[in-house]
A = this chain, B = another copy of it.
Amino acid sequence: MSETNCPKARKPKGFRDSFALQSLERQEMIATICNVYSKFGFDQLETSCIEYVDALGKFLPDQDQPDAGVFALKDDLDDQWLALRYDLTAPLARVVAEFGDDLPTPFRRYQYGPVWRREIKPSKDRFREFFQCDFDTVGCETMAADAEVCLVLSEVMRALGIDEFVIRVNNRKVLNGLMASLEITEPAVRLGILRTLDKLDDIRIEGVKQQLGPGRTDKSGSWNEGLHLPDSSINRVVEFLQCKMPTRRETCDAFLEFAAGSPDGVEGVNELKSIEQYLEVSDVAQEFVNFDPSLVRGLEYYTGPVFEIELPFEVKVKGKPKKFGSVAGGGRYDYLVERFTGKKVPATGASIGVDRLLAALSLLQKTKSEASLGPVVVTMMDKEQGLEYQKIVNELRDAGIRSELYLGDRKFKAQMKYADKRNSPVVIIAGSNEFEDGTVTLKNMFLGKALSQEVEDNQAWRKGQPAQSTVKREDLVQSVTDIINQVDLETQHNQA
């Protein structure tokens, strides 16, 4: 086969591969998150990746990209359209509608898995396949469930070792109360106001005023036409944003004063008050959960409390410092199951953006490194002695030590390079000398990392380098274990 006729080996745009450590770090993070979900009583659910398009519905959360759709195809089996799920909530709704009577009520599930969106412009921040990790309680009206969302998210952050986080909470009913008090009914204007609130952190109060008024020039220099609201309305929105007080209780009081005229608004504030009571008995500090008038999230989706985890540590974006930002979001939604059954089923929960959170952990150097050690590599200096090397690797594995025989056909030096690439803690070396003497030579790869670059031939390995030691064959397992424990200690020390 000539190379020119071959297909090019490449993955499609917007997709990724994860190798070794990267893949394990994600897996360990997911396990930590799911353990917290489980501890709070949620049960695991796995749904099929493919659903009927009509069952998925068209609820893509990102309203700014109405064209960005799903991966869909028409199936010849029953002449219906199938699609890859775009989130884990639509399949949950399908499951609840399909199996409702057989499920416990409330139905409390967590789910982890990939979701797919047919992004038109995939980029390094916007993939077409990514991972979510959700938990939801379906069939519950009590605000204890919404408070629990905050408790779960806090516990997840703590379990991952993240000390600095803010769970922002708002209530769509309070926002509806604001709209009512502004006497604004036109959906496009409402949407415009909500979007402006959502940008408070970026554009500050001055930017909000401009955006609600004549308009503003953004960072890129483009003009954003404003909403041209009257000054009285603009002032009212600004007052609303100033409801954010040092404590959740005070914020509730400020909200209540503000929302007094709107039944919807009052109900929303009472819901937040109820959440606050549950947070208080659970000793949740204001520092970690606060009520925030500028939080909007999921414009058409949520009907009550909404949540977002924000990581406030700074990263450089195009050279400028910026908050790392949101890693999870959620809220209360009452209408998801209704599309199937005609019945309103109240539900609340949240979704963690796995890739975003993993990126944050990585920046904070909080990814777990337990699995970071490569295998012990038993080199094959003398191919004729393959079976003797096999005995060595068997012994190591029997002792529970991650290890492998070098299975390639390269020379000794390449074998050492291989072990280096695999992040091997110890390499086992044995040639005729060792076999005669009943010994093996061990190389501590971490100690010897600098030296290993200089070695040019087999003989150099024999000259008693500091990273190397020759031990009795029967002391093999103990000596390897000692080096690995030492390497582990050093790794821990370096991380501390």
Contact = CB atoms under 8 A, between A and B. Distances in A.
B140 A408 contact: yes
Given A47-B17, A142-B407, A282-B394, A340 B402 contact: no
Give the most central of A49, A80, A390, A409: most B CB within 10 Å. A390
Nearest to A13: B77
Interface string A1-31: 1110011111111111111100110110000
A73 B82 CA distance: 11
Interface string A79-123: 010101000000001110111000011101000001010101010
Contacts of A44: 18-20, 23-24, 27
B407 A137 contact: yes
A139 B41 contact: no
Nearest to A343: B3
B55 A9 contact: yes
A341 interface: yes
Interface in A49-92: 49-52, 54-55, 57, 71-73, 75, 77-78, 80, 82, 84
Interface in A190-215: none
A264 interface: no
A340 B41 contact: no
Give the most central of A141, A144, A397: most B CB within 10 Å. A144
A19 to B, nearest CB: 6
B281 A339 contact: no
Give the copy number. 2
Contact of A404 (B17, B41, B118, B387): B41
A282 to B, nearest CB: 5
A403 interface: yes
A118 to B, nearest CB: 8
A1 B339 contact: yes
A407 B145 contact: yes
A50 B422 CA distance: 28
A400 interface: yes
Contacts of A410: 105
B404 A129 contact: no
A148 interface: yes
A223 to B, nearest CB: 31
A103 to B, nearest CB: 8
5 contacts: A7-B54, A23-B44, A39-B403, A43-B422, A73-B73
